[in-house]
């Protein structure tokens, strides 16, 4: 079995396993709304040819991107915990050198050509999404973060950001500090922990997105 076939089989198993973690109707109380945050200036102007949910490998390439490989998953729900299906989840972030997939990013000449920098995933009936990416690194003036956008029919693009729990720079980051509600601020800061059962040092992070929309909307 070649490397590409093995990778696809692993991603398929991981996605199905992540979906199994979510049980509709498991929450009796209203959840904390995920705060809407700035899109920032580096949403890709020219999207890469490869926009799938694996940012570590480009197309059928064999050379992975630099950085700590991270399996990033979560679900998109309403405040009652009902899954929202057919929501297009997008992420974008800097590479291991702190460079965005954007012409205006600083140090563009240092960009890792093997890092996709942008990915998409359409949620299914469970509201789950999954990406394979790298652990975010610092960008000048910002704490490490991953940008998220959620696109739903009949609604404008909705954006937020995800951060690393325990990162010292979080305390000084103006975008995080602008979230005044403590529960909302805590909801966007998540663990990047070693992936269970894997000896390659890969990480796993879970970031659930709670929207102010109902599945029917």
Task: List the domain range (segments joined by +) for residue 104.
Answer: 3-210
Q: Is the pLDDT of residue 133 over 90?
A: yes
User: Does a structural domain hold residue 11?
Assistant: yes
Q: What is the pTM of this model?
A: 0.86
pLDDT digits (tens, 9 = 90+) for 80-130: 999 999 999 999 999 999 999 998 898 889 999 999 999 999 999 999 999
Q: Are 48 and 113 in contact (CB under 8 A)?
A: no
| More confidently predicted of 9 and 175 | 175
* pLDDT value at residue 75: 98
Looking at residue 11, what is its pLDDT?
53
Query: Chain-wide mean pLDDT for the chain?
Result: 88
Does 216 map to a domain? no
3-state helix/strand/coil string of 6-67: HHHHHHHHHHHHHHCCCCCCCCCCCCCCCCCCCCCCCCCCCCCCCCCCECCCCCCCCCCCCC
Of residues 138 and 16, more confidence is placed in 138
Determine the Cα angle at 57 with ends 91 and 43, to 5°: 25
Question: Which residues have a Cβ under 8 Å from the Cβ of 21 and sit 6 or more positions away?
Answer: none
Q: Is residue 179 part of a domain?
A: yes
Query: For residue 153, is it within any domain?
Result: yes
pLDDT of residue 3: 44
pLDDT of residue 21: 44
Structure tokens at 143: 């704490």
Across 175-184, average pLDDT = 97
What's 35's domain CATH number?
2.60.130.10
For the stretch 186-199, pLDDT in tens is 999 999 999 988 77
Domain total for the chain?
A: 1
Q: What is the pLDDT of residue 115?
A: 96
Q: Taking the chain, what is the end-to-end CA distance rounded to the nearest angstrom?
A: 44
């Amino acid at each position: 079995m070649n490397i590409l076939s093995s990778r696809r089989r692993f991603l398929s198993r991981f996605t199905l396993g992540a979906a199994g973690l979510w049980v509709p109707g498991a929450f009796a109380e209203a959840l904390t709304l995920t705060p809407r945050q700035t899109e920032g200036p580096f949403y890709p102007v020219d999207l890469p040819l490869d926009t799938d949910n694996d940012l570590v490998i480009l197309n059928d390439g064999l050379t992975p991107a630099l950085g700590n490989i991270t399996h990033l998953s979560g679900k998109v729900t309403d405040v009652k915990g009902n899954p929202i299906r057919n929501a297009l989840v997008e992420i974008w972030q800097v590479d291991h050198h702190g460079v965005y997939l954007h012409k205006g990013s600083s140090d563009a000449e240092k960009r890792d050509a093997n890092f996709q920098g942008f990915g998409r995933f359409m949620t299914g009936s469970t509201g789950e999404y999954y990406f394979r990416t790298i652990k975010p690194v610092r960008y000048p003036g910002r704490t490490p973060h991953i940008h998220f956008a959620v696109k739903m029919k009949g609604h404008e693009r909705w954006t937020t950001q995800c951060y690393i729990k325990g990162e010292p720079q979080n305390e000084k980051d103006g975008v995080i500090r602008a979230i005044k509600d403590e529960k909302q601020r805590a909801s966007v800061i998540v663990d990047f922990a070693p992936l269970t059962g894997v000896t390659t040092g890969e990480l796993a992070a879970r970031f659930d997105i709670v929207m102010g929309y109902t599945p029917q909307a």
